[in-house]
Every structure is written in C-alpha cells, then in structure tokens.
Amino acid sequence: MLLVRHSVPEVDPSIPAADWRLTAEGRSRCAALAERLAAHEPDVVVSSPEPKARETAELLAARLGLELREAAELREQERRTVGWLERAELEAGIRRLFAEPDQVVFGEESATDALARFSRAVDGLGDGAVVVSHGTVISLYAAGCTGSDAFEIWSGLELPDLLVV
C-alpha cells in the first residue's frame, strides 16, 4: 500500500491545522510525487477529508487518472483543542502521545484510538491504493508495519512524502 503524507500547507496559526489548505509550492510538489506513484501502478486514491490532504489527493488523482474516494477515518489524530504550537512544543507533544499510547495526553484522542480507526480504513484496501493522510497517523501505522520507532518516522516525514508498506 502507498501511504502519502499531504503536501506543504499554508500555516495559519489563527485557524486549526485541520482546516489548512496547500500553498502554491505544496500544489506544485504533487507533480513529482505523482510521477513516483505512477511507477507503482496504483489503482485508486483514498483521502482524509481534511483540506490539505484532500487537495493533495485531488491533484494526485487527476495526474494519475484515478478514482478519488474519501474516508473520514483517515483524518489526523484529533487535536483541535491544542492550537498552533512552535516546532519544539509540537515535538514534545508528539513524543508524549507516542510514549503513552493508551492515554489522552495530547489533543482529544489517544495514539491507540487514532491508529485503530486509521487501520480500519486502510486494512481492507489493496496494495494498489494510494492513501493520502497525515504525519501522526501514518507514522503510527508505518511503525507497526516496520517494527520501527514512530517518532523517528514522524520526524523524518517530508511534505509530501511516500511510504510503501
């Protein structure tokens, strides 16, 4: 399966990150990603409903000539109450989230619950599905698949990025 983290968003601290859209640079980067994806011969694009993911998915689906579906369970870990954070604060929060996966320690949803509903959405998909989603939930899922550290994956993900699991 092809896990795609959305492209570069327009950061606006005055609105929740879940409502951010892509920048012009973010839209432009989708072209190169579509080329990388084409080599895997994908058959469908399934996206989180959040605008920055949805927009990424629309651009990819259009370039690849694929059907686009939306799945609410692919949204990012719920943390609307957290608000905008500096990078160091965000990293500290994510570290805590991954370190205490069963607890609601950052935002409104535990890592375990976020991973469970993300997994429900992707486990029925075939290997040719392009799943467009977000850094935290992708890292949790990829960590389970690879036996690797979720925070290391989260820290290493770019905008956009592609993991094949």
Partner 1 sequence: MSAPLLVLDGDSLAHRAYHALPKSINNNAVVGFTNFVLRLWEMEEPRAVVVGWDTLTAPTYRHEALEVYQSGREFDDSLLRQLDLLPELVAALGFAYGKAPGYEADDFLAAAVRSEEKRRGGRSVVVTSDRDSFQLVSDKTTVVTPVRGVSELARIGPAEVRERYGVEPAQVPDFIALRGDPSDRIPGAKGVGPKTAATILKQYGSLDAALDAGRFPQQREELLLYRRIATLDASAPLPPLKDQSPTWAEASSLFRSWGMNQMADRLAARAAGSA
Binding residues for partner 1, rule: CB under 8 A, are 1, 142, 144-149, 152-153, 156-158, 161, 163-165
Place of tokens 């990388």: 36
β pairing state of 161-164 and 2-5: antiparallel
Nearer to partner 1 (CB atom), residue 31 or residue 145: 145
Nearer to partner 1 (CB atom), residue 22 or residue 150: 150
Question: Nearest approach, Cβ of 104 to partner 1 (angstroms)?
Answer: 24
Question: Nearest approach, Cβ of 108 to partner 1 (angstroms)?
Answer: 26
Query: At 105, is the secondary structure helix, strand, or coil?
Result: coil
Question: Nearest approach, Cβ of 66 to partner 1 (angstroms)?
Answer: 20
Strand partners, 46: 69, 131
- The runs of H, that is alpha helices, within 14-134 are 24-38, 51-64, 87-99, 111-122
Nearer to partner 1 (CB atom), residue 103 or residue 155: 155
